[in-house]
Structures are given as C-alpha cells and as structure tokens.
C-alpha cells in the first residue's frame, strides 16, 4: 500500500474557503482589479491603455499568486497560524516587486500598487476568517500495528474504526500503520478508500505533520527518506547565506560595536566569547558570541556548558542580549567562514554533544546540515538542557532535516522575529 502524497496540514480544514482556486479568484478580484478600476474612475479602456498601470496590475496579480502559494506551502507545517504569516509574506513580496521596478526602471503606478497591497491584505484576512469558521476533517484510525499512537495527539480529531467500513458522509481521511500486516478485510478498506479519493496516511506522516517532530525507532525506519537532504537546495542556501552575511555585516557593524562597548562597561572581560562547538559533518569549530556571562567554559566540559534558568553567571546586559538573541549576531563571522548557516540545528558545545551522542541514538545525524543561528527546535521549543527535552529537540531537528527546503526556512525566519520580540525560550 502506498502512503498518500497529499499534503497534510497540522489541522485539516474543509470548505470552499480552503480552495486555492476560490482564494485566487476572490483575492485577485477584490485585491487587484477592484482597487485599480476604482482609482481609474471605472474607465477600463483608459486603464488598459496605460503601460505603467498594466505593469502594476501584472505585478499585483503575480504577488497574489505568490502569496497564496507561499501560504499554502507553509500551511502544511505544524502549528502554523496562516493569519500571522499574511502580512510579513505579502510585505516581502511587494518589497521584491518595488526593488525590481527600481532596478530595471520599469514604469509603474505607486497608487495602484499601494491600493492593491492594502486590498489584498484585507481580502486575505477575510478568507482566513472564513477558514477559521470552517469545520475540521475527521480522521479514522485503522486498528493494528502502531497506528494507535496518533490517538495521543489532542490536536487531531480522530477515532478508531470498529469495523472495516467508512462513514459515507463528510470530509474524512484514514490513518493506518501501512507497514503492518493487516487482515484482508482491512486491506480491502484501505484500497477502496484510496481509489475513491479518500486520503490514506501512514501514522508517522500524521504524527510528524501534527507535532513537527520525527519519531525514530531504527535508522532504517526513521521516516527520513534519503539520508542526505536536498543537495541542490543546500548549494542555493549557502549562496544565500553568504550574500545575506555580506549585505548585513556593514550596516550592523556600528550597532555591534556599541553592544561590545556596553558589555565591556557592564563587566570585566572581552566583548566576544569563543566556544568550541560540534559543527557540519562533525567538525569542531569555534563559535563567536557576545559575552553574556561573567565566566563560562570553553565548550569541552559538559557541566560548564550548561546554562541554568536564572544562572547567576549571566550579566545584566547579558540577560537582555540572550532574551533578544542579539548575543548570536557575531556568528555572521562563522557564516561567512562556511561553518554555519543563518538557519539550521543549533551547534552544541563539544562536551554536551559527546554526552548526547553517548545517550541518544542517531544524535550525530543532526550534523548532516550546517548548524544555524536559529532553527526549527528553537522556534518551537526554546533553550533546553534536560536529556528528555534534548530527545524532543532531536526530533525537531530531524523534522527540519527531512523537510529541508526554502519554505521551512522562510517559516523559521518569520517565527524567529516573534521569538526575538517575545524572548520565547531564552535562558
């Protein structure tokens, strides 16, 4: 039996408002065409004879499609609140549009673009409100194997099937352990559901889509697919890391110098703190951070590398730097040197990494991608040190590696902004 390839949002919604065609028609009509025609005084021929207006309409229509496709792609990741992504995603798309118009000196209408931006924003929030009122898909669990594990997920509206028959009404999906040797009547149910268009999911697929973590029993049964994540995207990501680092290092330099001066004035010692960390492919490197403690280990001792809640070693300005993650900014140096990325699993101190490798199976696999300043575990879980929490963090890291792509990086970037503003997970 083949596992369904249908994207599985963390909480599946049903209804016409969740149709991509419906969304495109509504947003294009209300967000692009209507404001443009109103600005033109409802004179369609005059609007269509203006090259600047045509360029603006085409750009606004492209922005709508890019926005909707981006939201739809990021919606499949667990815990995503689409409403919170509308504004930053649309702002990024329109920022790119204005940059293209400026670089290539293309004629355009600022009034049409601004009006379409505001109208598109309103239309998208309207659709999000409709989706919020829509019902949830019902999931039916086929008994047998390990499928019962999904019943632990409170976010999922699921129930066991007592007999090999599916209800005939409503929007539903089937969850089963597709590696289990089911009895013939249950196999027939799975086959009939699949050919009738009812989604059939392997239980691990549902677990990952709901929790954002990858459960691991054996290396050959880890749901990771290929053990080497997308090589093509890895090269693109490296180029983007370097370009972003070069673009930001000079504008940030005065700010970084001021932070360094404040650290020196707050407590004796250097402004920068260097610590040995385990990096890409298990190579040791020295990570750069702003010093936030009076004293700290060099990374080789596990005990000295652990930061406790309300650690007495943290300085006054250090607490602010850790809460806002500003202490991580000097790692631009590590990014430009090729040791780190902007986004990826956080690099652990050598002592901690060796400890975790000894206690947790497959921990070393997280080094298959470059470590990052921020990552999937950090925006979902925050800073952890307990061994049980590290196991959860590892499952978050493996989920990131399995879904290694532009889309999850973009989502982490947006969530990192929230983390910086709220101080989520800091110690």
Q: What rounded mean pLDDT belongs to the chain?
A: 85
In Å, what is the CA distance from 342 to each residue of 28, 202, 244, 256, 326? Answer: 34, 33, 9, 17, 13
Residue 332 or residue 171, greater confidence: 332
Residue 343 or residue 421, greater confidence: 343
Q: Each residue of 32-41: pLDDT tens digit? A: 999 988 887 7
Mean pLDDT of all residues in 267-286: 93
Which pLDDT score, from 0 to 100, does residue 152 have? 87
Dihedral angle of Cα 314, 317, 319, 320, to the nearest 10 degrees: -170
Q: Each residue of 195-244: pLDDT tens digit? A: 888 888 899 888 888 888 887 665 544 455 555 677 788 999 999 999 99
Which pLDDT score, from 0 to 100, does residue 425 have? 57
Which pLDDT score, from 0 to 100, does residue 221 have? 43
pLDDT bin (cut points 50, 70, 90) of residue 8 is low
Which pLDDT score, from 0 to 100, does residue 93 have? 95
Which pLDDT score, from 0 to 100, does residue 6 have? 44
Say what percent of the chain tops pLDDT 90.
48
Q: Each residue of 107-156: pLDDT tens digit? A: 999 999 999 999 999 999 998 888 776 556 789 999 999 999 988 888 78
Residue 48 or residue 399, greater confidence: 399
Which pLDDT score, from 0 to 100, does residue 59 have? 95
CB atoms within 10 A of CB 421: 9
Residue 297 or residue 358, greater confidence: 358
Which pLDDT score, from 0 to 100, does residue 308 have? 58
- Structure token digits, residue 254: 């005065």
pLDDT of residue 291 exceeding 70, the answer is: yes
Closest CA to 207 of 427, 402, 53: 402
Mean pLDDT of all residues in 310-333: 89
pLDDT of residue 405 exceeding 70, the answer is: yes
pTM exceeding 0.85: no
Say what percent of the chain tops pLDDT 70.
84
Mean pLDDT of all residues in 33-52: 80
Dihedral angle of Cα 390, 391, 394, 396, to the nearest 10 degrees: -100
Q: Each residue of 68-108: pLDDT tens digit? A: 999 988 888 877 888 889 999 999 999 999 999 999 999 99
Most confident of 45-59, 127-141, 246-260: 246-260
């Amino acid at each position: 039996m083949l596992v369904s390839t249908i994207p599985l949002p963390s909480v599946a919604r049903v209804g016409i408002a969740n149709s991509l065609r419906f969304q495109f028609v509504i947003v294009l009509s209300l967000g692009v065409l209507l404001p443009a025609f109103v600005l033109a005084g409802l004179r369609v021929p005059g609007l269509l004879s203006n090259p600047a207006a045509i360029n603006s309409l085409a750009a606004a229509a492209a922005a709508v499609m890019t926005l909707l496709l981006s939201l739809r792609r990021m919606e499949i990741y667990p815990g995503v609140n689409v409403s919170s992504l509308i504004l930053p995603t649309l702002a990024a798309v329109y920022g790119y549009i204005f940059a293209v118009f400026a670089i290539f000196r293309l004629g355009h209408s600022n009034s049409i673009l601004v009006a379409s931006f505001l109208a598109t924003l309103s239309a998208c929030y309207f659709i999000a409100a409709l989706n919020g009122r829509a019902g949830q898909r019902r999931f039916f669990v086929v008994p047998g194997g390990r499928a019962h594990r999904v019943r632990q997920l409170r976010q999922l509206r699921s129930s066991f099937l007592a007999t090999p028959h599916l209800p005939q009404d409503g929007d539903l999906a089937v969850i089963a352990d597709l590696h289990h040797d089911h009895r013939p009547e249950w196999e027939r149910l799975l086959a009939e559901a699949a050919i009738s268009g009812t989604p059939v999911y392997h239980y691990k697929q549902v677990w990952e889509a709901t929790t954002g973590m990858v459960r691991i029993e054996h290396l050959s049964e880890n749901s990771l697919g290929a053990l080497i994540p997308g090589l093509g995207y890895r090269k693109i990501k490296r180029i983007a890391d370097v370009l972003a680092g070069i673009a930001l290092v000079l504008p940030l330099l005065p700010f970084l110098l001021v932070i360094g001066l404040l650290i020196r004035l707050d407590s004796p010692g250097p402004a920068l703190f260097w610590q040995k960390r385990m990096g890409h492919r298990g190579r040791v490197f020295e990570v750069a951070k702003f010093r936030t403690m009076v004293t700290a280990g060099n990374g080789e001792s596990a005990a000295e590398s652990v930061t406790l809640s309300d650690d007495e070693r943290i300085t006054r300005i250090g607490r602010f730097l850790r809460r806002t993650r500003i202490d991580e900014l000097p790692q631009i140096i590590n990014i430009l040197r090729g040791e780190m990325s902007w986004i990826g699993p956080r690099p652990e101190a050598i002592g901690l990494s060796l400890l975790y490798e000894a206690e947790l199976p497959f921990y070393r696999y997280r080094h298959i991608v470059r470590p990052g300043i921020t990552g999937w575990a950090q925006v979902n879980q925050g800073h952890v040190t307990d061994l049980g929490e590290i196991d959860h963090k590892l499952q978050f890291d493996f989920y990131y590696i399995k879904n290694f792509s532009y889309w999850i990086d973009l989502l982490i970037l947006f969530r990192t902004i929230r983390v910086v503003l709220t101080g989520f997970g800091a110690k």
